[in-house]
Structure 1
Amino acid sequence: MESVDRCAHCLLPYLVNRAVRRLMPWSLFALMLGGSFVKELAPLPESYMSNKRNILNVYFVKFAWAWTLFLLLPFIGITHYLVTRNPIVVAQRLSSLLAGTAIWYACTGVFLHIEDLTGSCYRSSDLDHLLKEHPSKQQCQQAHGFWHGFDISGHCFLLSYCILMITEEITVMHSVKTSQDPRLQRIVSILFLALSCLLLIWVWMFFTTAVYFHDISQKVFGTLVGLLAWCGTYRFWYLKPFSPGLPPRRTSLSGHKSNRSL
């Protein structure tokens, strides 16, 4: 198990630093635009990743928020307790996951509503015959029709938000002191490595979404919503009192007040 600690130590300077947090939003937007232009101007041949039934899409992206919660919940809980020794601070930081869940639920609901309002029902994906008798997506699908509306990319939204959220939360690793408890150190290292792997999967799937799926406008809107969700929380609300606060960075904390000042 020492190899786990060594791997975590090797990844730490590459994933947990200010430059990554500063550049990641711009990098994601550039990645989305670059992949979108490839799709529009020089489409890549079909591959395993262009099939929506690929294993990463079916077992990971379809449950992206669940995977993110599953790993962030124990990671935030353990690391913040090790840093602050304050259960109240831990509970407040964990409430960021509730805020993220509310954002995910609200945004996906709005996306579906927009698609329903802007769409029409057709007999097939060729859009060859309009079926006016089915005015909603649900009715259209029940009639085995094809609903064509403005389908904002939920993958671009959710993956960009999850990527930025994980990037923010793992910054606590610089402040964690676990040398007195090797068992907790191993647990933290395992969770950090798992989050690092998940981060790489999300970035890769974000890129494949840009290259193979959706129109460019749908991906731009989806990515912008993800970036705005991150900015509204980690760059605005979490800096305010009566919020979940930011993860501690680089220095140990004595209380919740110092958590917000870093």
Structure 2
Amino acid sequence: MDLKSENSSNGWTTTDINLEKLHKIATELILPGRFLFRLLNGALVFVTNLMARILGSNPVRRHFHLMLSAVVLFGPVLSFWASKYSIFANSNHYLYRKFLKSTWGWTCIFTASFILLLSLSARHSLSLCLRHLSRIGLVGLLWWVCKRLLTLLEDASGTCYEPMASAEDTQSSASSGQTLLLLHEDQTKASCLRAHMLWRGYEVSQDVLILCLCCLLLVEELSVFGPCLARAKPQQRSPGGPLRFVFLLCVVLLAVWISLLLCLLTHFPTFPAQQLGGALGYLGWRGLYQGWYRLKPSWGCPGLPGEGLLTTTYGDGQAQ
């Protein structure tokens, strides 16, 4: 009995020692983790405050569309200095394949997430949140209508050609100095390009259109974060980390869209198709954010970004 009691006591002692060691190891790991978390959180707060101050400033809010217009108009001039061996000169680049064809999808997901978190943080009102989210739906509807109309216009005004493939035709075309083509009148632009034939007609760059529209949309929606931070500062109620992180993702997305726009204008200039696309994107933003959204609620408009949110504090549902 004495041996068993000694073994059991020794066993408990060993277990206690192991638990103490595990506790010390966990403590040593938690302390650096907390320090790293505070460091990252401080960096997130600093960067988001800086970007919110920049995007919420009067020069950016009033003149960003002018800067974007200058980029669209004079961006093709950069093609004289661009290298054809650049990685961005390849139309199959990763950015083009993964982002350019799904520009509206990325913008819709990130912007809607930011509006949702901002609305719920400022006002716990589902109706107000849905009203602000409806702006994204209206822009999406505008993009779908423009895309369908431009596709119909291109199919109606363009023509599909197939180069002559025989040797005799090739010799005759070389002697005349002109490329002989076979006409295909029953082809649409999509089917013509899928068949590796040539499409000639009036075109409007849909890529430049949606990039300009998304850039203007992001600036409009993100510009209210700075005033919201200013409203929340006196009450010492800073927005949470998830809202700041989503805001930072939206800023990164804005930078990606501007970079893609510059790459398209520099390496694949098509005048005046790209300028027409930029003009349509500007007119769409102008008609919604500078026109309809400024009307009274009786007109069924969802209102401007931040409307109904800047009069409340974070975490408080009562108006100031």
Normalising TM by the smaller chain, what interval?
0.7 to 0.9
| C-alpha distance after superposition, 1:52-88 (max 9, x if no partner) | 1111111112111000011111110110222233221
Q: 1:180-259 counterparts in 2 under 5 A?
A: 185-240=240-295, 241=297, 242-248=300-306, 252-253=310-311
Structure 1 residues not aligned, in runs of 5+: 255-262
- Out of 41, 44, 64, the position equivalent to 2:82 is 44
Report if the CA contact (8 A) 2:115-2:133 is conserved.
yes
Instruction: Give distance in 1, aligned partners of 2:94 and 2:248.
Output: 21
1:9-158 equivalence runs, <5 A: 9-39=49-79, 42=80, 44-46=82-84, 47-124=86-163, 128-141=180-193, 143-158=195-210
Calculate percent identity across the aligned residue pairs.
25
Counterpart contact for 2:215–2:254, Cα < 8 Å: yes
Residues 1:139 and 1:197: Cα distance change in structure 2 (over 3 Å): closer
Aligned partner (choices 219, 228, 237) of residue 175 of structure 1: 228
Pairwise CA distance, 1:199: 0.4
Distance in 2, matches of 1:213 and 1:205, equals: 11
- The farther-off stretch of 164-173 and 29-38 is 29-38
Q: Distance in 2 between matches of 1:217 and 1:127?
A: 24
Q: Deviation string for 1:22-55 (max 9, x for gaps)? A: 111111111111112344xx26221211211111
Q: What CA distance in whole angstroms lies between the structure 1 residues aligned with 2:276 and 2:261?
A: 14
Structure 2 letter corresponding to 1:114: L
User: Does the aligned pair in 2 maintain the 1:38–1:44 contact within 8 Å?
Assistant: yes
How many pairs are equivalent?
250
CA distance in 2, matches of 1:250, 1:237: 17
TM-score w.r.t. structure 2 length?
Answer: 0.72
Question: What is the one-letter code of the residue matched to 1:102?
Answer: L
Amino acid at match of 1:170: L
Q: Which segment is superposed worse, 132-141 or 60-69? A: 132-141
Q: CA deviation at 1:133?
A: 4.7
1:259 equivalent in structure 2: none
Shift in Å, 1:106: 0.8
CA distance in 2, matches of 1:111, 1:249: 33
Q: CA RMSD in A?
A: 2.4
State the distance in 2 between where 1:143 and 1:52 align: 18
SS at match of 1:13: helix
Higher-Rg structure is 2
Q: Secondary structure at the match of 1:130?
A: strand
